Structure 1
Amino acid sequence: MVSLILFGSFFVLLLLNVPIGLSLGISSVAALIAENLPFSMIPSNLYSSTGKFVLLAIPFFILGGNVMEKSGISARLIDFCRTLVGHRKSGMALVCVIVACFFAAISGSGPATVAALGMILIPAMVKAGYDKGDSAALMSTAGAIGIIIPPSITFVIYGSVTGKSVGSLFASGIVPGILMGIFLVFAMQFVSRGRELVLLPKANGKERWAAFKEAFWGLLMPVIILGGIYGGIFTPTEAAAVSALYGLIVGLFIYRTLSLKDIMPILRDSVSQTAVVMFIVGTASLFAWVLTVTGVAADASNLLIQVSAGNKYIFLLIVNIILLIAGCFIDANSAMYIIVPILYPVAEALGIDGVHLGCIMVMNLAIGLVTPPVGVNLYVGCGIADISLKRMSKSVLPFVVASIIALLLTTYLPFIPMTLPNLLG
C-alpha cells in the first residue's frame, strides 16, 4: 500500500508539472502519514543527507564551470579543435563532439555544455551543410557526455550514496564518455550521408599553435583537477575548490574576460543552481529513506533477484531498461537516490563492482537528458536552434541509438569502464 502511495503520488505530481524536488518531498510526506511515521525524521534526514563533506564538491564544481563558461573558454576550445579536425570529412561533427568532451571536463553539467557550446556550434554545423535538426540533436547528445566525463556532479552524488570512491568513479567515466562520443560521430555520418558538406580549409602549423596557446589554460583545467586527484594532491572536494579558484584566476588575470563586477552575478547564478541541486538531494534522500524503512526497497531488490534468476547479465539488462525509462521522467540526481537503494544491494549480491554499476547508471541517465518528455538537453537545444520539440525528438533518435550501443558495450565489457580505476588504484 505504501509503495502505491509513494510512487503513485510522485508520478501524479510529475504529470501535473510540479517541480521534481517538490514532487519527491510531497510524496514522501504522504507516505509518512500513511505509515504513521514520525515527522521528526524529516529535518534530521534532510540535514544528514546534505551535510556530507563530499557534497561540498557540488557548489565548487558549479562555480568553476560558470566561471570558465563566462571566461570565453568555449570559443577558444572550438577554435583549437577546428584547426585540428575542421578540414576532415564530418569535421564540424568531430569538432562538436571533441569540444563537448573537453567542456564536459570543465563544467560537469550536460545542459551547461549544450548552452555554452550550442550558440556557436549549431549555426556552424548548419553552415557546413548539416541539417539544423541533426546539428541540434548532435549538440544536445554530445552535451550529455558532460555528466559522464569527470568531473561529474552525478558521480559525486552516487559516491555519497554508496560510499564508493569518487576518484574511482571519475576514472570509470573517461573511456565510456570518449566511446560514446565516437559513436555519435558515426551516427552523424550516417544521417548526413548524401549531403554536400563544406570542409574548412586545413590549418597550418602556425595557426594550430596560435589556437593552442589561446585554449591552453582551458585545456589545463581538467589536467589540474584529475591530475591532482589521482596524484594524491587533493580530494575530489578540494579539487572542486581548486577548479573554482583556477577559473577565477584565468578569467581575471590571464584572459581578462572577467572583471570584478562580473563576480557577483556569477556567484548569484552558482548559488541558485546549487540550491536547486541540494534541494533535490534533500527531498530525494527523504524519498529513499522512506523506501528503506517501509521495506519497499528490500522487496523490490528481492523481486529483481527472482526475476533475474541470479544471473548478473539478465540483471544488468533489467537495470538498463529501468534506467532508460526512468531517465525519460526524472533527472539524474533524483534517480540516484530513488533507484540506487534498490539496485545496489542486488549488484553487490551478484558480484557486480559498485564502480561499474555507477558508470552504467550515469550513462543511462546521460541518455535520459535527451529523451522526452523531461530531457533537459533537448529543450536547451531546441531553444538555441529555434526548432520544435517534435522535430528535435525525431532527429535525436539515431544519436540515442548510438549512445545505447556505447552503453551496452560498457555494460557487458567491464574492462571498458574499469581499466582506468584499476590502474589508478
Structure 2
Amino acid sequence: MTVLALLVAILLLLALRVPVAFAFLGPGLVYLVLDGESLGLPMRLVANAAGSFVLLAVPLFVLLGVIANRAGIADRLFDFALALFGRVRGGLGYVSVGVSLGFSWMSGSAVADAAALSKVEIPPMLRAGYSRRFGLGVVGASALIAPVMPPSIPAVIFAGQASVSTGALFAGSVLPALLMALGLCVVVFVLVRRQEGIVHLGFSRARLAAAARRVALPILAPVVILGGILGGLFTPTEAAAVGAAYMLVLGFGYGTLKVRDLPRILVETVTTTAAIMLIVASAALLGYVLAKERVPQALADLVLGFTDDGTVFLLLVVALMLLLGTVVDATATLVLVVPILMPVATRLGVDPVVLGVAMILALMIGLLTPPVGTVLYVLSSTQRVRVGEVFRGVLPFLVPLLVCCLLVVFVPGLVTWLPATLGL
C-alpha cells in the first residue's frame, strides 16, 4: 500500500505537469520523513548519484553536441547529402535520414537534433513539393538515431546504473542504429511513391566536390570520438572532451563560432546537464525508497513466476519501456528501473548490453508518442503546427523503429557481435 500511494502521488504530480525531478523528489522525501529517516540520508543519496564517475561524460557529450549545433556542422552535412542524393526521387527524405545519422555521431540528444535539423531540412522539403506531414515525420523519426548511435547520453546513464562497460554499450548500439536508418529509408521509399509534384535537383560534380571539401573535417569527428573509445585510446569521458575540443577548433577555423558565443554555449550546456543530473539524483532517491520496500525482489519473483525465458523477459521489458516512455522522461526511467531489472536479467542470463540497447530503443520511441512526446512538441514549436499534425506525420515511421526493437530482442547477435569482435 505504501508503494501504491507513492506511485499515485508521482502520477498525480506528473499529470499536474510538475517537472519529473520534483515529482520524484517530493514523494520520496515525504516517505523518508514519515519513516523517521534523517534528512542527511537523502542528501547523501542525491550527492552520490550525481557524483558518479561514469556520469562525468554527460556534460562533455552535451557540450560536444551544443558546439556542433552552434558551429553549423548540420548545415555542412545537409549540403553534402543534398549534393549526393538530391537527384534521387524522394532524395530530401533520404537526405534527412542521412544527415541525422551523420550528426548522431556528434550529438546524443534527439531533442537537440530535432530542434536544429528541422529548421535546416523542412523548409527545403516544402519548397520541393513534399508534404509538411512527410517532412515532420521523417525529421522527427530520424532524430531518434542520435540517442541510440554513440556517443549516446542514455547509454552513459545505463552504463552507470548497470555497472557495464560504456564502450561495449556504445559498440553494441552501432548496428541497431544503422538498422533504424535503413528502416526509415524504406518508409521514405514507400511514401514518396504516393507524392506527386516533387521537384528533383540536378546532379553536379563540382557541387558535390565543393560540399565534400566542406564536410571532410567534421566527418572525422566520429573517427576521433569512437575510434578513440573502441581502440582503447580514450575513456568515454576523455573522448567527449577531445571531441568537444575538436569541434571548437573547427568552429573557430570555419568562422562560424566567435569568442562571444562561448558564454551562450556554456550556459546551454550547464542548463541541459543540470536538468539531466537533477533527474538522475531524484530518481536515485526514489530508487532507494523502492529498494527499501523490496520492490526489486517482488518484481523478480513475479517475473520468474511468469517465465524463465530471457527472450520473453526482454519482450516484457520492451513493452514496459514503451509504456513508461510515453509518460516519464527516459533518463528518470533508466535511473529508476535499471537497478530493479538488472538482477532479474542476470538470473535469466540476459546480456546486459542487449538489455541496455533494447531499453534505450524502446524508451526513445516514447519521444514520438503522446502525451509526453518531447520531440513532437519541439517540432510543433519550431514549425508552428499542432502536435496532432506532427504525430500523424510520425506514425508511419514508428513501424521500422518497433521492428528494430523486436530484432534486438530476437536476434541479440546484432548487439553482441561488434563488442565481441572488438574484445569489449
Could you say whether these structures have the same fold, taking a TM-score greater than 0.5 normalized by the shorter chain as the test? yes
Q: What one-letter code is carried by the residue in structure 1 that aligns with 2:141?
A: T
Q: Summarize the Cα distance change of 1:197–1:168 in structure 2 as closer, same or farther, 3 Å threshold.
A: farther
Residue of structure 1 equivalent to 2:313: 315
Q: Is the 8 A contact 1:137 1:381 kept in 2?
A: no
Residue of structure 1 equivalent to 2:344: 346
Q: Could you tell me how far 1:403 is from its partner in structure 2?
A: 0.8
Q: Is the 8 A contact 1:132 1:385 kept in 2?
A: no
Residue of structure 2 equivalent to 1:151: 151
Structure 1 window deviating more from structure 2 (183-192 vs 81-90): it is 183-192
Q: Could you tell me how far 1:424 is from its partner in structure 2?
A: 1.2
Residue of structure 2 equivalent to 1:11: 11
Residue of structure 1 equivalent to 2:60: 60
Q: Is the 8 A contact 1:137 1:378 kept in 2?
A: no
Q: What one-letter code is carried by the residue in structure 2 that aligns with 1:133?
A: R
Residue of structure 2 equivalent to 1:410: 408
1:94-105 equivalence runs, <5 A:
94-105=94-105
Structure 1 window deviating more from structure 2 (183-192 vs 42-51): it is 183-192
Q: Could you tell me how far 1:118 is from its partner in structure 2?
A: 0.6
Residue of structure 1 equivalent to 2:200: 200
Q: What one-letter code is carried by the residue in structure 2 that aligns with 1:292?
A: A
Q: Could you tell me how far 1:45 is from its partner in structure 2?
A: 0.7
1:88-99 equivalence runs, <5 A:
88-99=88-99
- String of CA shifts for 1:347-373, please: whole Å, max 9, x gaps: 111111000100001101111111111
Structure 1 window deviating more from structure 2 (198-207 vs 19-28): it is 198-207
Q: What one-letter code is carried by the residue in structure 1 that aligns with 2:256?
A: T
Q: Work out the CA distance in 1 between the residues paired with 2:158 and 2:49.
A: 12
User: Residue 292 in 1 paired to residue 282 in 2?
Assistant: no
- String of CA shifts for 1:116-166, please: whole Å, max 9, x gaps: 111011122222332212211211111011100010110001011011000
Residue of structure 1 equivalent to 2:375: 377
Q: Work out the CA distance in 2 between the residues paired with 1:27 and 1:395.
A: 37
Q: Is the 8 A contact 1:2 1:35 kept in 2?
A: no
1:32-43 equivalence runs, <5 A:
32-43=32-43
Q: Is the 8 A contact 1:129 1:198 kept in 2?
A: yes
Q: Is the 8 A contact 1:91 1:199 kept in 2?
A: no
Q: Work out the CA distance in 1 between the residues paired with 2:206 and 2:404.
A: 36
Number of aligned residue pairs: 423
- String of CA shifts for 1:201-258, please: whole Å, max 9, x gaps: 3433332221111012221111100011111111001111111111111111x21111
Q: Work out the CA distance in 1 between the residues paired with 2:225 and 2:80.
A: 21
Moved over 6 A (4+): none
Q: Could you tell me how far 1:38 is from its partner in structure 2?
A: 3.6
**Please, which runs of 5 or more residues in structure 1 have no aligned partner?**
none
Q: Is the 8 A contact 1:133 1:387 kept in 2?
A: no
Where 2:296 maps in the other structure, the secondary structure is helix
- String of CA shifts for 1:92-136, please: whole Å, max 9, x gaps: 111001110111111110011111111011122222332212211
Relative to the length of structure 2, the TM-score reads 0.97
Q: Is the 8 A contact 2:129 2:199 kept in 1?
A: no
Where 2:3 maps in the other structure, the secondary structure is helix
User: Residue 49 in 1 paired to residue 62 in 2?
Assistant: no
Q: Work out the CA distance in 1 between the residues paired with 2:165 and 2:79.
A: 35
Q: Summarize the Cα distance change of 1:197–1:37 in structure 2 as closer, same or farther, 3 Å threshold.
A: farther
Q: Is the 8 A contact 1:367 1:400 kept in 2?
A: yes
Q: Work out the CA distance in 2 between the residues paired with 1:385 and 1:131.
A: 13
Residue of structure 2 equivalent to 1:364: 362
Q: What one-letter code is carried by the residue in structure 2 that aligns with 1:42?
A: P
Residue of structure 2 equivalent to 1:260: 259
Where 1:123 maps in the other structure, the secondary structure is helix
Q: What one-letter code is carried by the residue in structure 2 that aligns with 1:375?
A: G
Q: Work out the CA distance in 1 between the residues paired with 2:144 and 2:194.
A: 27
Q: Work out the CA distance in 1 between the residues paired with 2:414 and 2:264.
A: 41
Q: Work out the CA distance in 2 between the residues paired with 1:87 and 1:20.
A: 45
Q: Work out the CA distance in 1 between the residues paired with 2:282 and 2:59.
A: 18
Q: Could you tell me how far 1:180 is from its partner in structure 2?
A: 0.9
Q: Could you tell me how far 1:5 is from its partner in structure 2?
A: 2.2
Structure 1 window deviating more from structure 2 (231-240 vs 389-398): it is 389-398
Q: Work out the CA distance in 2 between the residues paired with 1:361 and 1:379.
A: 23
Residue of structure 2 equivalent to 1:272: 271
Q: What one-letter code is carried by the residue in structure 2 that aligns with 1:288?
A: G
Where 2:146 maps in the other structure, the secondary structure is helix
Residue of structure 2 equivalent to 1:234: 234
Q: Work out the CA distance in 1 between the residues paired with 2:151 and 2:130.
A: 31
Q: Work out the CA distance in 2 between the residues paired with 1:186 and 1:382.
A: 25
Q: Could you tell me how far 1:76 is from its partner in structure 2?
A: 0.3
Q: What one-letter code is carried by the residue in structure 1 that aligns with 2:341?
A: L
Q: Could you tell me how far 1:284 is from its partner in structure 2?
A: 1.0
Q: What one-letter code is carried by the residue in structure 2 that aligns with 1:417?
A: V
Q: Work out the CA distance in 2 between the residues paired with 1:141 and 1:28.
A: 35
Q: Work out the CA distance in 2 between the residues paired with 1:269 and 1:132.
A: 29
Q: Work out the CA distance in 2 between the residues paired with 1:194 and 1:396.
A: 16
Q: Work out the CA distance in 2 between the residues paired with 1:330 and 1:191.
A: 31
Structure 1 window deviating more from structure 2 (122-131 vs 233-242): it is 122-131
Q: Is the 8 A contact 1:61 1:107 kept in 2?
A: yes
Q: Work out the CA distance in 2 between the residues paired with 1:192 and 1:237.
A: 41
Residue of structure 2 equivalent to 1:189: 189
Identity of aligned residues (%): 36
Q: Work out the CA distance in 1 between the residues paired with 2:340 and 2:193.
A: 43
Q: Work out the CA distance in 2 between the residues paired with 1:151 and 1:27.
A: 33
Q: Work out the CA distance in 2 between the residues paired with 1:155 and 1:339.
A: 14
Q: What one-letter code is carried by the residue in structure 2 that aligns with 1:355?
A: V
User: Residue 140 in 1 paired to residue 140 in 2?
Assistant: yes
Structure 1 window deviating more from structure 2 (367-376 vs 290-299): it is 290-299
- Superposed CA RMSD in Å reads 1.4
Q: Work out the CA distance in 2 between the residues paired with 1:406 and 1:120.
A: 27
Q: Is the 8 A contact 1:5 1:31 kept in 2?
A: no
Q: Work out the CA distance in 2 between the residues paired with 1:199 and 1:421.
A: 43
